Structure 1
């Protein structure tokens, strides 16, 4: 059995990959031999820079797709477009995610539907779309970015918590359906990661309390992480890379915490 991780000849599709966790995942997969389809937000100039940097660093093909994952048809269409461009999709990383913070009685309908659509429905749609080709080839890797909030809860995050619990259920179901097909499906569950999304939350808390960014982070965000630091995006990317390898072919249906020990507290 080949237990190395290089992905020569594979094509990976990573959603939400123009920044943060998704970009780190795309970088790890491309630097280990995969051609990569990326998807995410940004100005044309920012996206062009991301594509050029990934391609230059890895010497692999990198193409950006601008599909809107809030629409189920476009989420499925993203897989079709990536397949048309690259000829196949072997690895699917459902990483795209959005957040809205409000108490349950003040949570807007449109935000609830937006979180469900992007955080959960899009992962179902891309998985459904990629399934036939993975099944035909007898090989596939599907990794969903969940959260420690797939196990626990946090006030004022009903939409996010609900979708991450849903992602964990979807992961387990897909793992069962793919178990005899050569398709694995797993979830990675980070604690606080200093992505642009999280940095915005830290900045808002710092402004509210008139704290510095560092004070807000230390006193309100990493207090329940035994390592007392944010998880790094490259650490999550390394976990995804391992789950894509042949060494992980018997690992399916798991929810892998990358959390600095926060779930043991």
Structure 2
């Protein structure tokens, strides 16, 4: 099978696919032959990307299980699901509120519960599936000013490992990608607020002394979503420029 079409005839769902890492994943999966659907609250952004890639679109609150289930029923069934949607908030823990905790946990962790629960029965029935979680190095290393986000991403990684154990007998693999500092609009917004010092700190947190590109994360996702990765499950793949060693 040619590299360019290694996902040919596979049907993929990408959450939070309207921008940033999610948009890069949508483009990469579509370029490799997958039929892609975007599930995102940003309907306008998703529609713009759909016009470019031919993806299908559903606008839904990813923390609303009924809405997610309805969207999956309309657009699916899926061979691949990428739980990418996420949100961060930079503040020391004692400066956060209960509402902040609930929002961060809901979008970064509970949304993956909703999507995975909705897509897995069809994958089990067909005897094939690829689930890919987009975690974060923060979940492994912790995050000063991002304790709740880090906790949610650590939970997402453990959730993925647990699903890998439960679903291996169905021919379903479940893996997690751990991005480091990636050059996305959200990161650029944070840099604009924090200045050059923050940008230098982010670059310096990696061995390679630079920010990653969303396309580099998308390449890892495309591999884990492919048939070639059939013997890889329950794993974490860091795309972080060597952050743990920096």
Under a length normalisation based on structure 1, what TM-score does the superposition of the two structures give? 0.88
Aligned equivalents of 1:76, 1:250: Cα separation in 2: 29
Pairing partner for 1:237 from 218, 222, 226: 218
- Does the 8 A contact of 2:177 with 2:236 survive in 1? yes
- Does the 8 A contact of 2:62 with 2:115 survive in 1? no
Aligned equivalents of 2:119, 2:198: Cα separation in 1: 42
- Does the 8 A contact of 1:91 with 1:141 survive in 2? yes
The residue aligned with 1:262 is 243
The residue aligned with 1:145 is 134
- Does the 8 A contact of 1:71 with 1:117 survive in 2? no
Residue 70 (structure 1) aligned with residue 67 (structure 2): no
Match of 1:188, SS?
strand
Under a length normalisation based on structure 2, what TM-score does the superposition of the two structures give? 0.94
Report runs of 4+ in structure 1 exceeding 4 Å deviation.
Answer: 2-5
Deviation at 1:19, TM superposition (A): 0.7
Deviation at 1:43, TM superposition (A): 6.0
- Give the root-mean-square deviation of aligned CA atoms: 1.6
Residue 217 (structure 1) aligned with residue 199 (structure 2): yes
Match of 1:13, SS?
strand
Match of 2:170, SS?
coil
Alpha carbons of structure 1 residues 197 and 40: separation in structure 2 relative to 1, 3 Å: same
Q: Which runs of 5+ in 1 are unaligned?
A: 56-61
Pairing partner for 2:193 from 195, 204, 207: 204
Residue 164 (structure 1) aligned with residue 153 (structure 2): yes
- Does the 8 A contact of 2:58 with 2:71 survive in 1? yes
Between Structure 1 and Structure 2, how many residues are aligned?
245
- Does the 8 A contact of 1:72 with 1:117 survive in 2? no
Deviation at 1:68, TM superposition (A): 0.7
Aligned equivalents of 1:122, 1:248: Cα separation in 2: 25
Alpha carbons of structure 1 residues 200 and 246: separation in structure 2 relative to 1, 3 Å: same
